[in-house]
């Protein structure tokens, strides 16, 4: 019978953990910057899709459709290689901008929070794909260490646990929807609802 300790060498991970964690900074930075850029672009595109100007609505819709219907890996490669080369208000006495700010945006934000949370989890996990363009993040470090030590199972298992440690708290936040968090929205919308009732 074969010695089980020879099959699973955890000391390969513990001895090289600082090396693996060196990529964690880039992984976190990528996820945070992607989320911030996505939120800003998302708000701009959402405003475009709500515009009264038909060409702007169409352009915002086309932008959304293109990014939604193409593989994430293709988007990473395109941005990395090609982009640098290309260098409800009528029922109230509110104006359109007031109703957007006081009614539509607060409701949209509360409805989008679970999706934003899920997307932030995906961004952390999908940051591993940038290792194919040689960006030195967590998965890049794992692949280089696995090649050096010839212990892929141990290294990739440790990296999976690191990704889980990063994303599990986010998953808990996505699932936790306290009514207290909705109070600012409820206070904003309550007078309107009372007025309409």
Model confidence at 90: pLDDT above 70: no
User: pLDDT band at residue 86, thresholds of 50, 70 and 90?
Assistant: low
In the numeric block, the tokens 């440690």 are attached to: 165
Model confidence at 174: pLDDT above 90: no
Q: What is the pLDDT of residue 177?
A: 58
pLDDT tens-place string over residues 98-140: 766 777 677 666 667 777 788 888 888 888 899 888 889 999 9
Helix residue spans in the chain (DSSP H): 4-7, 10-21, 24-49, 54-68, 72-81, 83-86, 96-99, 105-126, 138-149, 152-175, 183-196
Model confidence at 78: pLDDT above 70: yes
Q: What is the pLDDT of residue 6?
A: 63
Closest CA relative to residue 138, chosen from 165, 167, 159: 159
User: Please, what are the domains in the chain?
Assistant: 4-87+89-196 (1.10.3720.10)
Helix axes 105-126, 183-196, angle to 10 degrees: 150
User: pLDDT band at residue 60, thresholds of 50, 70 and 90?
Assistant: very high
- What percentage of residues in the chain have a pLDDT greater than 90? 24
User: pLDDT band at residue 154, thresholds of 50, 70 and 90?
Assistant: very high
Decide which of 39 and 85 is more confident: 39
Q: Calculate the average pLDDT of the chain.
A: 78
């Amino acid at each position: 019978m074969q010695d089980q300790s020879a099959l699973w060498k955890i000391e390969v991970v513990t001895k090289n953990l600082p090396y693996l964690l060196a990529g964690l900074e880039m992984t976190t930075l990528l996820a945070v910057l992607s989320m911030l850029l996505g939120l800003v672009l998302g708000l701009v595109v959402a405003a475009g899709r709500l515009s009264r100007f038909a060409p702007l609505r169409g352009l915002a819709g086309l932008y959304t459709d293109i990014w939604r219907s193409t593989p994430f890996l293709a988007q990473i490669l395109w941005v990395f290689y090609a982009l640098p080369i290309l260098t409800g208000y009528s029922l109230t006495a509110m104006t359109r901008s007031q109703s957007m700010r006081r009614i539509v945006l607060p409701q949209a934000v509360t409805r989008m929070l679970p999706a934003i949370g899920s997307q932030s989890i995906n961004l952390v996990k999908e940051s591993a794909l940038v290792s194919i363009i040689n960006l030195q993040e967590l998965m890049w470090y794992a692949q280089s260490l696995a090649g050096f030590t010839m212990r892929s199972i141990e290294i990739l298992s440790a990296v999976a646990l690191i990704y889980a440690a990063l994303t599990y708290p986010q998953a808990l936040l996505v699932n936790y929807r306290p009514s207290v968090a909705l109070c600012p929205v409820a206070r904003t919308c309550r007078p309107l609802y009372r007025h309409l009732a």
